[in-house]
Structure 1
Amino acid sequence: MMETLSHLSLGFGVALTLKNIALCFAGCLVGTLIGVLPGVGPIATISILLPITFGLDPTGALIMLAGIYYGAQYGGSTTAILVNIPGEATSVVTTLDGHQMAKQGRAGVALGTAAIGSFFAGCVATVIIAALGAPLTKMALLFGPAEYFSLMVMGLCFAVVLARGSILKAFCMIMLGLLFSTVGTDLETGQERLTFGVASLSDGIDFSVLAMGVFGFAEVLRNLESPEARDVVKGKIGRLLPGWDDIKQSIAPVLRGTAIGGILGILPGNGAVLGPFASYTMEKKIAKDPSRFGKGAIEGVAGPESANNAGAQTAFIPLLTLGIPPNAVMALMVGAMTIH
């Protein structure tokens, strides 16, 4: 315990200098602004801004890059709530209830809840990194092919649970998604599959771009059909601080989302993306009235937003302890560390 406190005090001593705080603020601001832009994401942002950090010391550079990553996690929820277009892959679930809250005139409450949940989850996950990094790394190493296969199957089951209406249609969409996932270069043989000679498809179909197209295109067509039926952007955002009733409804989902996202975030792959889906599914399953979900339930915003930020934090555990990047952003962090 004393050793953990000593490490934390050392870390805060380095991070809480005026220069590093300014770099963190700049990174979070840029990340939030980029997270609002659908389809861009932290990967492209970090790749573009990496040369800017060449003149910085290694600690300051990593603080700025990490700030971009964290900021993008929250920024994606803004467009998801206001215009039903997820800015990030981890914000897809937020559209289900966040946009419904906006249509009910509670956009500010949804944004405030997402911010509070993200802040709490990020703080808790930081302590988890310091205190439980080594034990959680050992748990991540226990995952083999069978466990990862089971995890993916669980994710597909979540998709069925999240679907509203016909289960057959949901199953057909899952099969279509699996078909899309086969597009690109085969990892074993290096052969291109279903690219039809299009070079831009050799890396596969990016999930965030696909989600942006599915949600955004549908929203554009809906507005063209009945433009007077929805005016969320021009309407009042409302108060940003949630009321006491909203806070009471959000406390438990935030805690559960933080735990789920923190655990799934350490798994190599896209555990941080799976976290919000798992959180939303759990909240819907244990709710007294599951029919509220998809119609503006605040739990459907608080839980997933906490999960994606906790997952973004704990993704650093396998990187910092084993040198294994669990996702593409962490791979860029390895590149940044190598350069510096």
Structure 2
Amino acid sequence: MDTLANLSMGFGVALTPFTLFLAICGCFLGTIIGALPGLGPSNGVAILIPLAFALGLDATESLVLLTAVYFGTMYGGRISSILLNIPGDEPAMMTTLDGYPMAKQGRAGDALVISGAASFVGSFISIIGLIIMAPLLASIAYLFGPAEYFALYLLAFCTLGGVASKNQAKAALAACLGLGIAMIGLDNSTGLPRFTGGNMHLADGIDFLVAIVGMFAISEVFIFIESHGKNSALGVVLGKITIPWKDLKMTFPTMIRATGIGFVAGVLPGAGASLGSFMAYMAEKGIIGKDGYFGKGDPRGVAAPEAGNNAAAGGAMVPMLTLGVPGSGTTAVMLALLLTLNITPGPLLFKEHADVVWGLIASMLIANVVLLIMNVPMVKLFVKVLLVPPSVLMPMVTMVSFVGIYSLTGSYFDMVMMILFGVLGYILRKIDVPTVPVILGILLGGEMEDALRRAMTLSDGDWTFLFSSPISIGLWIAAVLGFVAPLFLRGKLKKPPIPATDATLDQD
């Protein structure tokens, strides 16, 4: 009953005219951003965070806008995957395997409708899972002390490196780099400056929003200029849009199975939508077996990854809201937003900021209905976005980034730091080092250090205190398995290659 009462309160917040308007705008902008190859949800949310501050939005309004953008990008990523055979982001990669063959067979409209329906099913059910699981997990989180939180942060880094990255060594290097950057500033215990080089601007540490916008948005400008310097062109012609009821009926069981797999993948800290998409596709391919024609235009090969990655997007909100540990790169960006708004995610969030949390959850449900309604009749409009030349798009991204950060901090030094982080992000991506662990290190480094220091203070310096409870031991075991297991599994679970076509472009 408490859950229903809280949800009712959330709808009271979400259905105010301005909040509803923000949700619709976020859905529209997110779909456009997701349709553009290479941007993806992390970049889309990072680009629009400064805009939320520039508009003077409060905590609830900012979260509603950016969450709608998040879900909108997950929907939009399928458009370029199906029509261009170019994933709008990494989770949409699996959609290309059957989506583009369907488009080449003249069924582009059917593929887009099926993917939109699967996205809705995956997102909607995952939000129901969030409503059920989040309060339960929040109550369990009261059992966490400093040792348990330190192990939990370690689990986030290990699963992020072991599952979401191709190379554990590079992911570990990126995480250590982020933790090192988090150490810059005044020591919380002694008040002495650390790694500031005598620069007073660094006394307060690195602003994680500056780092996020730089490493995601500005580095994306460099990457996009380098790899997509020419105007985009559609690989197939989009015909009349109709609703393929027969295919929707056939793929509905696939959507349900993929949603369950994707939600579990999303709840795992660091795993994210990419794992959910991949696992859902491979599981469905194994279940269907010889009765399917995966890789050749099977509608179930479109429904499974779309339901999986959208369910993972909803699942990733669970650990972020209840434990303060992001379940994906995008929720890491949203965690930074919450911290900037002086809202600390964790078990107390559902009591201290119940209106914010439940207003957000209600807005997520509304946004998914809006996205389903928007993505079928308006899909031809979103397709036109693929024709926007980079010479127009990239200056807009750059302008939003610079104006937003300056309006937030009012510091020229932060703008210089944003450019430096953009260069760092560009270099890391060129040498195939993931940037998300760097951001996660900057976000969680301070909290992880504080948890370790509190644990050592309580135990009088006894390091075995870190393994003193069943919860902490379980988290340590999970962290080790999360980092080591992929070393043995990756050879057996290789991602199927994207079919080579004339429309395929090289991806960095």
Deviates more, 1:86-95 or 1:48-57: 48-57
Identity %: 39
- The TM-score with structure 1 as length reference comes to 0.74
Deviates more, 1:38-47 or 1:24-33: 38-47
1-structure distance, mates of 2:331, 2:164: 22
1-structure distance, mates of 2:173, 2:164: 23
1-structure distance, mates of 2:114, 2:330: 26
2:227 is the alignment partner of 1:239: no
Cα gap change, 1:148 to 1:97, in 2 (>3 Å): farther
1-structure distance, mates of 2:337, 2:162: 34
| Aligned equivalent of 2:170, options 182, 187, 192 | 182
Deviates more, 1:71-80 or 1:14-23: 14-23
Within 5 Å, give how 1:4-43 maps onto structure 2: 4-43=3-42
1-structure distance, mates of 2:172, 2:159: 23
Query: By how many angstroms is 1:239 displaced?
Result: 2.6
Output one character per residue of 1:101-155: Cα deviation in whole Å (capped at 9) or x when no partner: 000111111100111111122111111111122446769x999989998999899
Moved over 4 A (4+): 134-139, 141-156, 188-191
Query: Per the alignment, in what secondary structure is the counterpart of residue 92 of structure 1?
Result: helix
1-structure distance, mates of 2:20, 2:242: 25
Match of 2:99 in 1: 98
**Contact 2:155–2:269 at 8 Å: present in 1 too?**
no
Match of 2:334 in 1: 333
Within 5 Å, give how 1:61-100 maps onto structure 2: 61-100=62-101
Cα gap change, 1:189 to 1:46, in 2 (>3 Å): closer
**Contact 2:113–2:243 at 8 Å: present in 1 too?**
yes
Output one character per residue of 1:268-299: Cα deviation in whole Å (capped at 9) or x when no partner: 11332101111111111111425600000000
Find the structure with the greater CA-based Rg.
2
Match of 2:299 in 1: 298
Cα gap change, 1:155 to 1:58, in 2 (>3 Å): closer
Is there any run of 5+ residues in structure 1 with no aligned partner, and where? 157-176, 192-202, 224-230
The amino acid that maps onto 1:35 is G
Query: By how many angstroms is 1:238 displaced?
Result: 3.3
Output one character per residue of 1:173-195: Cα deviation in whole Å (capped at 9) or x when no partner: xxxx549x73894545889xxxx
Within 5 Å, give how 1:1-340 maps onto structure 2: 2-54=1-53, 55-135=56-136, 177-178=166-167, 182=170, 185-188=173-176, 232-233=235-236, 235-244=237-246, 246-289=247-290, 292-340=293-341
Deviates more, 1:94-103 or 1:321-330: 321-330
Is there any run of 5+ residues in structure 2 with no aligned partner, and where? 142-147, 180-214, 342-508
Query: Per the alignment, in what secondary structure is the counterpart of residue 105 of structure 1?
Result: coil
Cα gap change, 1:4 to 1:186, in 2 (>3 Å): closer
Matched residue count: 289
**Contact 2:100–2:297 at 8 Å: present in 1 too?**
yes
2-structure distance, mates of 1:334, 1:19: 23
1-structure distance, mates of 2:303, 2:155: 32
Match of 1:160 in 2: none
1-structure distance, mates of 2:242, 2:137: 36
